[in-house]
Amino acid sequence: MVLKKRTIMNFPAELKYTKDHEWIKVEGNTAVVGITEFAQRELGDIVYVDIPSVGKEVAKEDTFGTVEAVKTVSDLFMPLTGTVTDINPALDSQPELVNTDPYGDGWMVKISIKDASEVDGLLSAEAYQSLVGA
């Protein structure tokens, strides 16, 4: 019998999380958004990321794009209401960055935050870790 080595998942404490497996890093009035390590592991190898263009307004919990893995496509849900100010251009040619560095080079969009009080409704790292049972 071959036992698969279990790797420990990362849940950065400085981030906030959604029940839909997105993470958000608040930097003043801007937020960086991506999907969690748990989400990318569940999806498998990411082959394409479809995200909105700069200037698009997106409401909290609305779909803001999709992530395509080898066997599935998954919607992306916006953690906060805001306007897209930047997209990660590296994902066009290297969507696998979402797998290899979900909290760093695999970020997806930056938004200007419309209502900072919405941050209070997001999950802490500990609460998200409990949600996914890790």
User: What does the alpha-carbon distance between residue 36 and residue 23 come to, in Å, rounded to a whole number?
Assistant: 6
Query: Which CATH number among 1.20.1740.10, 3.40.190.10, 2.60.40.420, 2.40.50.100 corresponds to the domain 16-132?
Result: 2.40.50.100
Q: Predicted confidence band at 7 (pLDDT cuts at 50, 70, 90)?
A: low
Amino acid identity for residue 8 in this structure: I
Amino acid identity for residue 73 in this structure: V
Average pLDDT value for residue range 105-126: 96
**pLDDT tens-digit profile of 21-41?**
999 999 999 999 999 999 999
For residue 28, what are its two tokens? 């003043």
Predicted model pTM = 0.92
For residue 55, pLDDT beyond 90: yes
For residue 4, pLDDT beyond 70: no
User: What does the alpha-carbon distance between residue 73 and residue 117 come to, in Å, rounded to a whole number?
Assistant: 31
22 close to 76: Cβ distance less than 8 angstroms: yes
| For the chain, domain boundaries | 16-132
